[in-house]
Amino acid sequence: MINVPHIPRIVIAGTHSGCGKTTIARGIMDALTRRGLRVQPFKVGPDFIDPTHHTAICGRSSRNLDPFMMGRDGVVESFVRASRGADIAVIEGVMGMYDGLMGSDHASTAHVMRLLQAPAALVVDVRGMSRSANAVVRGFCEFGDGAEIAGVIYNRVGSPRHREMIEESLVARPFGFVPRDEECAIESRHLGLRMAHEIEKSQCIGDLIENSCDLDAMLEAARAAPVLPDIPDRQAMPESVRIGVARDEAFCFYYQDNLDSLALAGAEIVPFSPIHDPLPEIDALYLGGGYPELHAAGLERSAFGAAARKAADDGMPIYAECGGLLALAESIRTDREYGMAGILPARARMTGRIQALGYSDGEWTGGLSFGRPGSRILGHEFHYSCVECTNDARFSIRLARGSGISEGLDGLYVHQAAGTYTHAYFSPEFARAFVSSAAAYTKS
């Protein structure tokens, strides 16, 4: 077992989506980092985009904390391992604080707060109200069971007089009164906010938080969090295979824990760009999600498709998720039809409206060396595309929850190449199976 040191921590929770918690969380991370603190960032839920902004601000890889995909032990272990060497952990919540799976608080921000015994700063959007803001705060403080709200950040305060009106009826410790400032917002698009690498880094939000919030009070609350229990000691296997991971403007959705699990199972992670680089010398290929539809012309021109098709024909293990699935199809239609790798017997097209959003829960049914029949696959779907398969298409996953590619079937495969709409959170068993499959391919 690993003895867990004390980890100061605070959750940035919100009353609802759109209340400003992402902006506030970014600002707190920036302000604390500029004070010289080593800040370990986290995001509750399956989101890929917010963590890129956290990582750019803190200089440490942001991790997802999701009880549905990871389970209780997975949440605690990921938190503890990632927080080693940090002075404080800042955890951005998801949706409203108590919003979880199917009307419950399972996998909610409050659920993660309880698992980590972490206090929260509650972000309240006070546009259009004054005294009523504190009625909202009182409701949140009294509603939950075991989730501690240490203080409140009143966001989008309109004026000094507006602040005074709110202060007349405070029911919880105020951590700050943040004025309206639209310049610090991040532009959105169809899958959410723009990625961190697509925008210029700005100090405005850090300055805004430094000038309007009591960071010392938040640090005091974070440092009062108790020591967590010990976690298992997991030893890394010696590296035995090289797994290529697509990382560029088209493929950018990855859970850092997935890459860590592959490394622990004995893989050397080899990042490369399918748009710009030749396929490296590798034993397996992993393509995450992202925006291949925005870079379809570059993918069509690149050498990736032919090289990946040859690797697939040779039996190389290839695992592709969502955007990666589209890249392995025969084509993708956006403004026109673009040729893709042509590995999987399907054509993809963008639909202009959301096709699936929510958690996935299924099991591998066979056909792939790395998808052990009967083993579970948990993850999340979020896409604006559909994939039209040929009549002889074969699937390796049956979902009990989620849409998949076709009527609850996912994991379209040919040879040892598979594409899914599920963004999976890798279990240790899956990571070992994928590495073992890569090792078997190398020896063949």
User: What pLDDT digit, counting tens, does each position of 332-362 carry?
Assistant: 999 999 999 999 999 999 998 999 999 999 9
126, 127, 131, 134 alpha-carbon torsion, rounded to 10°? -20
CA distances, 358 to each of 32, 292, 384, 423, 441 (Å):
33, 21, 13, 10, 34
pLDDT at res. 189: 42
Instruction: Give pLDDT < 50 ranges for the chain.
Output: 186, 188-193, 195-199
CATH superfamily for 9-223 is P-loop containing nucleotide triphosphate hydrolases (3.40.50.300)
Pick the closest to residue 244 from 181, 175, 186, 319 (CA basis). 319
Strand 385-389 and strand 346-350: the pairing is: antiparallel
Per-residue DSSP letter, 116: H
- The pTM is what? 0.93
User: What pLDDT digit, counting tens, does each position of 134-188 carry?
Assistant: 999 999 999 987 789 999 999 999 999 999 999 999 999 999 999 998 666 545 4
Reported as type and span, the H/E element at residue 165 is: helix 160-167
Strand 174-179 and strand 337-339: the pairing is: unpaired
Which residues sit opposite 246 in a β-bridge?
Answer: 272
Rounded-to-integer distance, Cα 52 and Cα 131, Å: 36
273: which residues sit within 8 A by CB, 6+ positions away? 246, 247, 248
Cite the active site residues: 322
265: which residues sit within 8 A by CB, 6+ positions away? 237, 428, 431, 432, 434, 435
Domain ranges of the chain: 9-223, 241-443
Q: What is the 3-state secondary structure (H, E, C) of 253-271?
A: ECCHHHHHHHHHCCEEEEE
CB environment 157-191: b (16+ within 10 A), e (fewer): beeeebbebbeeeeebebbbbbbebeebebeeeeb
Same fold, 9-223 and 241-443: yes
Rounded-to-integer distance, Cα 189 and Cα 59, Å: 25
Tokens representing residue 35 in the block: 């004070």
85: which residues sit within 8 A by CB, 6+ positions away? 38
pLDDT at res. 62: 98
Pick the closest to residue 270 from 239, 291, 249 (CA basis). 239
* Angle, helix 256-264 to helix 67-83, in steps of 10 degrees: 70
At the topology level of CATH, where does 241-443 sit? Answer: Rossmann fold (3.40.50)
